Amino acid sequence: MIVGVPTETAADEGRVALVPPVAEELVDAGHEVLVASGAGEGAHWSDEEYRDAGCAVLDDRESVFERADVVFQVQALGANEGQPTDPYDDGQVVVGLLGPYSIDEDTLAELADRQVSAFSLELMPRISRAQSMDALSSQASLGGYQACLLAAKELPKMFPMEMTAAGTIRPAEVFVIGAGVAGLKAIATSERLGASTRGHDVRLEVKREVESLGADFVELELETEGSGDEEGYAVEMGEEFYAEQRRQMQRVVPESDVVITTAAIPGRPAPEIVTTEMIEEMDAGSVIVDLAAETGGNCEPTEAGETVEVDGVTVHGPTNLPSRVSHTASQQYANNLANFLENLTDDEGELDVDFEDEIIDSTLLTHDGQVRNPHRDDGGGTDDDESAGDDGEADAPEEEADDD
């Protein structure tokens, strides 16, 4: 098949959907790879490196859409709001982060009319076989890592404890809300940096995951039954639950130097967990990084893509932290896409859309002139959410789960 990689058009997006080492593997497998000139620059991959990998480098992104059978993208359609729909050709396949909860019905109908097969990686099922294709997990892990580094850079205190001739330096107090993929990576990074780290999740079964990383688990007295579905996704809880959660958080948040929040429910606003009142009780100079900023934020004053100050406390609302490590993020993402393509093609390398395959059926938005998955607005969660388990897979069906 002919695989095309256009330049990304989302604001501040440094990632590229395919990197030269992975592209070379596709070429060796018999595929032709087309890359728009400059597509890899944000991730520090040159056109020459793509050529050396056996790719054809085209002068403009439009040519990629004109010639490709399969288009690999990082952010497109609903994930790239504010940009016009890309010129997908009739019968083309597009794979990427497509923002399935934000795509309007007219756009889906247009894709169906063009016979476009659109696969949205946000809808990847949490089963063992899908782990190597799980782009949300690979990118969320990098987001959690970057969130902790951002906080460490901004905090006017050292993270680790040190015994010095001038006195003892006490470790920073870091509190991570949510023990999904991003949360666990933030916890692990905080521990490596030497902070005194605590984590919280509404699912008590992830206590072991948090403690295995060296952190303390903060257990609140909440009725958490029904807070997650059978795949480990968060479900939306009632306002009474969130009000009680906020009440009990009042004793934990103010004594923290750093708070990192990761709770999100796709298709719904992020639950508000940290109030302005809690933040006002934190010490001046404290730092909050809200990874749920894009869907409203877990903190009352969060503004997506902005940094605000509340009574001396800095509140960051980043929306694309993985792009800050674009080279690594692109490598991970490219592997996810290559594995997905392998699953999508038969032994001869031809497209094989098998609806009996849970991975294909779950991620397919449009195909053969039909809108198959208009908006999976069922309260499912992401790998950033606070009820996700270890590596986003703790609640996969027992027969599908792997031990870490």
* H helical segments located in 90-212: 105-113, 135-154, 181-192, 207-212
Cβ density class 335-357: b for 16+ within 10 Å, e for less: bbbbbbbebbbeeeeeeeeeeee
Query: At CA 320, angle to CA 316 and CA 322, rounded to 5?
Result: 110
Q: What is the mean pLDDT of residues 346-368?
A: 92
| DSSP letter, residue 75 | E
Query: Which of 120-129, 137-146, 188-197, 215-224 is predicted with the least confidence, judged by mean pLDDT?
Result: 215-224
pLDDT band at 402 (very low <50, low <70, confident <90, very high): very low
**Smallest Cα–Cα separation from 159: which of 257, 244, 32?**
257
pLDDT band at 237 (very low <50, low <70, confident <90, very high): low
Q: What is the mean pLDDT of residues 241-248?
A: 77
**Distance between CA atoms of 388 and 234, rounded to whole angstroms?**
7
Looking at every residue in the chain, the average pLDDT score rounds to 89
| DSSP letter, residue 218 | -
182, burial (CB in 10 Å: exposed 0-12, middle 13-18, buried 19+): buried
What would the two tokens of residue 227 be? 């807070």
pLDDT band at 404 (very low <50, low <70, confident <90, very high): very low
Using the predicted structure, report yes or no on whether residue 385 has a pLDDT greater than 50: no
**pLDDT value for 380:** 42
Q: How does pLDDT run across 303-325, given as a tens digit for each residue?
A: 999 999 999 999 999 999 999 99
The reported pTM is: 0.88
Query: 234 and 265 in contact (C-beta within 8 Å)?
Result: yes
Residue 203, number of CB atoms within 10 A of its CB: 21
**pLDDT value for 359:** 96
Which residues 6+ apart lie within 8 Å of 164 measured at CB? none
**Smallest Cα–Cα separation from 382: which of 314, 294, 316, 256?**
294
36, burial (CB in 10 Å: exposed 0-12, middle 13-18, buried 19+): buried
**pLDDT value for 191:** 98
pLDDT band at 235 (very low <50, low <70, confident <90, very high): low
Pairing of strands 117-120, 364-367: antiparallel
pLDDT band at 249 (very low <50, low <70, confident <90, very high): confident
Positions annotated as catalytic residues are 126, 131, 134, 137, 233
Residue 255 to residues 86, 272, 360, 399: CA-CA distances in angstroms? 48, 19, 46, 42
Distance of CA 45 to the CA centre of its chain: 22
Which residues 6+ apart lie within 8 Å of 265 measured at CB? 234, 235, 236, 271, 295, 379, 380, 381, 382, 385
364 Rama class: left (phi>0) / alpha (psi -120 to 50) / beta: beta
pLDDT band at 181 (very low <50, low <70, confident <90, very high): very high
**pLDDT value for 262:** 95
Query: Which of 227-241, 263-277, 373-387 is predicted with the least confidence, judged by mean pLDDT?
Result: 373-387
**pLDDT value for 244:** 78
**pLDDT value for 137:** 96
**pLDDT value for 231:** 54
**pLDDT value for 394:** 36
Structural domains for the chain = 2-134+326-377 (3.40.50.720), 143-323 (3.40.50.720)
**Smallest Cα–Cα separation from 348: which of 23, 1, 27?**
1
pLDDT band at 240 (very low <50, low <70, confident <90, very high): confident
Using the predicted structure, report yes or no on whether residue 366 has a pLDDT greater than 60: yes
Q: Which amino acid is at 165?
A: A
- For residues 383 and 314, the model is more confident at 314
Q: What is the mean pLDDT of residues 187-192?
A: 98
Using the predicted structure, report yes or no on whether residue 383 has a pLDDT greater than 80: no
Cβ density class 114-152: b for 16+ within 10 Å, e for less: bbbbbbbbbbbbbbeebbebbbbbbbbbbbbbbbbbbbb
**pLDDT value for 348:** 82
**pLDDT value for 242:** 72
Q: What is the mean pLDDT of residues 46-51?
A: 98
Q: How does pLDDT run across 257-268, given as a tens digit for each residue?
A: 999 999 888 778
Query: 36 and 60 in contact (C-beta within 8 Å)?
Result: yes
Residue 380 to residues 6, 118, 229, 301: CA-CA distances in angstroms? 30, 20, 8, 25
